[in-house]
Chains A and B, each alone.
Chain A
Amino acid sequence: DARVTQTPRHKVTEMGQEVTMRCQPILGHNTVFWYRQTMMQGLELLAYFRNRAPLDDSGMPKDRFSAEMPDATLATLKIQPSEPRDSAVYFCASGLGTGGSGNTIYFGEGSWLTVV
Chain B
Amino acid sequence: GDSVTQMEGPVTLSEEAFLTINCTYTATGYPSLFWYVQYPGEGLQLLLKATKADDKGSNKGFEATYRKETTSFHLEKGSVQVSDSAVYFCALEDSGGYQKVTFGIGTKLQVIP
Contacts and interface: CB of A to CB of B under 8 A. Distances in A.
A42 B3 CA distance: 13
A91 B98 contact: no
Interface residues of A, number: 28
Say which size band chain B's interface belongs to. 20 to 34
A82 B104 CA distance: 26
Given A42-B104, A42-B106, A43-B106, A108 B43 contact: yes
Given A107-B45, A108-B43, A31 B99 contact: yes
Q: Is the interface of A mostly helix, strand, loop or mixed?
A: strand
* Chain A CB within 10 Å, residue with most, of B101, B104, B106: B101
Contacts of A35: 103
Contacts of B95: 101
A56 interface: yes
Given A43-B89, A99-B97, A101-B32, A109 B43 contact: yes
Interface string A94-111: 010101111111111110
Contacts, number: 67
Contacts of B63: none
B93 A102 contact: yes
A93 B100 CA distance: 12
A27 interface: no
A85 to B, nearest CB: 18
Interface of A: 4, 31, 33, 35, 41-43, 45, 48, 50, 55-56, 91, 93, 95, 97, 99-110
Interface of B: 30-32, 34, 41-46, 49-51, 89, 93, 95, 97-106
5 contacts: A56-B100, A93-B43, A101-B32, A102-B50, A103-B99
Q: Which 6 A-B pairs have the closest CB atoms?
A: A107-B43, A42-B105, A102-B51, A97-B99, A43-B103, A102-B32
